[in-house]
Amino acid sequence: MSSPLLALFRREARIARSIGGGGAMGVVFFLILVSLTPFAIGPDLNLLSRIGPAILWIAALLATLLGLDRLFQADADDGSLDLFMMTSTPLELVVLVKCAAHWTLTALPLVAAAPLLGLMLGLEPEAQAGVAASLLAGTPALTLLGAIGAALTAGLRRGGLLMAVLILPLTTPVLIFGVSTAAAASGGTVPFHTPFLILCALSLATIAGAPFAAAAALRAREG
């Protein structure tokens, strides 16, 4: 990573920590959602263990999107976005670095916390490892898809709600194969590597395409 991009990554990390958008908030939000589930469906451990991967993935999806609506909002408000467009660094790389900083601070702690929270849902060790592996492979796609929505709604009031409406349907394939990967890790008719490789392919596809889509949306906003 070149020096300007590394400086941008550090800047994004400092800003996220200063406004409370670091990993702690995402993990607490993750914990609250998982903790409330047994109260809603009852203390049946057999049921909780069956639907545990889905619960963890839905909670991780919502926690990952937490704060993504501010990914470009502050830059649009203070004029930093205009400066990014005038630099020699491609805007697509700027978007990718900002997404990398958000994923590192928000999604990576969720991956580490998922096995511990899986204990609350009665998941077997294999299922806990499957959830962690699926989150590690799938959360980059969630972050980058969210970046497209953040770029489309940058500068809009209450853009967070509109971003959720735009992005949540696009995250459905990631959610499906993420839950399938976690379920396959604890046994089933589908081998673990099949949904896992598809999940990796989805993340690689978003890494390749989402920065261009988000950058195009930001340029269209300025135009």
Q: pLDDT tens, 148-190?
A: 988 888 877 666 677 888 888 999 999 999 999 988 887 767 8
Q: Which residue has the tokens 């390749």?
A: 208
Find, among 132, 165, 148, the residue nearest to 215 by Cα.
Answer: 148
**Average pLDDT of the chain to the nearest whole number:** 85
Per-residue pLDDT at 89: 84
Pair of tokens at residue 16: 């996220």
* Rg of the chain in Å (alpha carbons): 18
* Closest by CA position to 202, among listed 139, 150, 109: 139
The DSSP code sequence of 47-66 is HHHHHHHHHHHHHHHHHHHT
Please tell me the predicted confidence (pLDDT) of residue 3. 83
Question: Considering its fold, how many domains does the chain have in total?
Answer: 1
Give dist(CA 82, CA 98) in Å, integer.
15
At residue 199 the predicted structure's pLDDT band, cuts being 50, 70 and 90, is very high
What are the tens digits of pLDDT across the range 102-137? 899 888 988 998 988 888 888 888 888 999 999 999
Quick one: how far is CA 38 from the chain centroid? 24
Whole-number pLDDT of residue 26: 77
pTM beyond 0.85: the answer is: yes
φ, ψ for residue 67, nearest 5 deg:
85, -5
Between these two residues, 25 and 61, which has the higher pLDDT value? Answer: 61
Sequence-distant (6+) residues with CB within 8 A of 131 are: 52, 53, 56, 57, 114, 115, 118, 123, 182, 185
Q: Determine the structural domain holding residue 181 and report its residue range.
A: 3-222
How far is residue 128's CA from residue 122's CA, in Å, rounded to a whole number?
A: 9
Which pLDDT value is given to residue 127?
Answer: 87
Are residues 60 and 139 in contact, defined by beta-carbon separation less than 8 angstroms?
Answer: yes
d(CA 158, CA 83): 24
2-26: average pLDDT: 74
